[in-house]
Chain A
Amino acid sequence: MADSKGTKMQLIIDGKRTDGRGAEDLRDLRVEVGVIAEADGSSYVEWGGNKILCGIYGPRECIPRHDSSPYHALVKCRYMMSPFASLEEHGRMGPSRRSTELSKVIREVFENLIIAEKFPNTQINIYLDVLQANGGTRTASITAAAVALVNAGIPMKDMVSAVAVGKAGDVLVLDLNKSEDNFGQSDMPIAVSHRDKKLLLLQMDGLLTKEEIMEMVDMAERGCDKAHVVQADALKRFYERGEGESFKW
């Protein structure tokens, strides 16, 4: 997340951000549904420079069996950054402390939404692979998993979208890119449920006042509403185009 003591970098020039956006502009968001034939549900999200592949499996038999619950399905989530996802050095394969934490908080987003009581003794796996990263992978992952779960036909109480808000060059900005994430003053990823506007993901670092945080939550809500339109459109397009038509990378 952000490091406020980072190298000096001009993040706001003439009121514009490093990629030319205004404070509350989202980067280009593309959502595709049903991209993995073998999965029960799947999606692919491109958000700015992020590329996320999501596969859903389940409800299926819970393994190991002794983990299963007779009352509800277990929601399991594995978020993983590929070793080639960043412009810098080759990353390490396998889970890191960061990915373990993110898997946990993403799982907790969907535990609020999935009606797990319908599927006792089972598990629902959310697999998220970050193929390319440019700041905001956890929020793009949540946005991807939400449509993939719909695609898998898993009953949910609500839809969810997520976006990061932050502070860069003393300006509150929506949908942080990588340099704003690395060199900005603060980073606050937020997931908002679509209908009841509950905060399902809330993390924050950097130094902010209470007033700034409340304003940023409002910005995140507006950002999530925009992302929701793209998500809904992707689902509609998928079910309109019918079988046999595959998506292009």
Chain B
Amino acid sequence: MGEEVKDVIMASIRRDIMGNTLSKGIRFDGRKFDEYRPIEIQKGVIKTAEGSAVARIGNTQVLACVKFDVVKPFSDRPTEGVLVTNGELLPTASPGFEPGPPSAECIEMARVVDRAIRSAECIDLSSFFIEADKVLGIYIDIYVMDHAGNYTDAATAAATAALTDAKFPKIDKGVIVRGEYTGMLNPTKLPVTTTMVKVGQNWLVDPSRDEERVLETVLTIGTTEQHVCAMQKGRGALSKQELSDAMDIAFKRGDDIRKIIRG
């Protein structure tokens, strides 16, 4: 990912100013430390996909689409469907994103979302069996369309919402009958992720782009109602106590987002 020139020059100045503001207990955009920006979910935006949703967190916008195909199963799981999660940081979305092969950040985001969905066991992949050597493949494609900070949480929210929006395709003689459905996919548990960054001594939930530019530590925690289903630390270090606090925040914020996804 190309680094914005202003990021490099401004980072230390920004960190100073932000540190001063944070020491007064407020963030640049007026939020509390554990406060999310407004979250909005819009489902069914893409009619050609079996399921779709746009998640907005503040100005950050991420589209996720669910498509089905008939595919060959993996040899070690011959009766299970195949789940594939792909991410795309569109150059449209930020001056820092460039066309070309996916960056490590992009791959990481897609794999964290994938891990959260897979671990939460929200889709029953064994119901995707068609016949010997034929199973349903479910593709979750994530398009980051506007990056104003924290696209990871927006991506998980969009992906989970798209799953709740997805219709189960009708299968006839081993092929998908496009445009006909046998019902809804009905994911059981809804995984969401909560990303937190450390700036100075403060943990800030749902970082804005400004906060991401100066962060020291970043941690993403995926949760279902009862369990932690994924974790990924990016840059920086954290202590055991900080991890414990972060999990408490993740459960609390996760429930809020789940309510919005259910609608």
Contacts and interface: CB of A to CB of B under 8 A. Distances in A.
Most-contacted residue by chain A among B8, B224, B247 (CB, 10 A): B247
Contacts of B244: 210, 214
Interface size band for A: 35 or more
Nearest to B3: A67
A88 B219 CA distance: 34
Interface size band for B: 35 or more
Interface in B112-130: 115, 118-121, 125-126
Contacts of A161: none
Contacts of B118: 3, 205
B231 A204 contact: yes
Interface in B91-124: 102, 104-105, 107-108, 110-111, 115, 118-121
A202 B115 contact: no
Interface stretch (A45-53, A95-103, A119-127): A95-103
A118 to B, nearest CB: 18
B121 A4 contact: yes
Contact of A101 (B104, B125, B247, B248): B104
Interface in B75-91: 76-77, 80
B179 to A, nearest CB: 30
Given A202-B231, A207-B227, A210-B244, A5 B125 contact: yes
B14 to A, nearest CB: 15
Contacts of B230: 204-205
Most-contacted residue by chain A among B102, B228, B229, B247 (CB, 10 A): B228
Contacts of B248: 210
Interface of A: 1, 3-7, 69, 88, 97-98, 100-101, 103-105, 108, 111-112, 186, 188, 193, 197-210, 213-214, 217-218
Given A209-B228, A210-B244, 20 more contacts: A1-B115, A4-B121, A7-B77, A101-B107, A101-B108, A104-B108, A112-B237, A193-B237, A197-B239, A198-B238, A199-B238, A199-B240, A206-B229, A207-B224, A209-B226, A210-B248, A213-B228, A213-B231, A213-B247, A217-B243
29 contacts: A3-B118, A4-B119, A97-B111, A98-B111, A100-B107, A103-B104, A104-B108, A105-B108, A105-B234, A108-B234, A108-B235, A112-B236, A186-B119, A197-B239, A198-B237, A199-B237, A199-B238, A202-B233, A202-B238, A204-B228, A206-B119, A207-B120, A207-B224, A207-B229, A208-B227, A208-B228, A210-B248, A210-B251, A214-B243
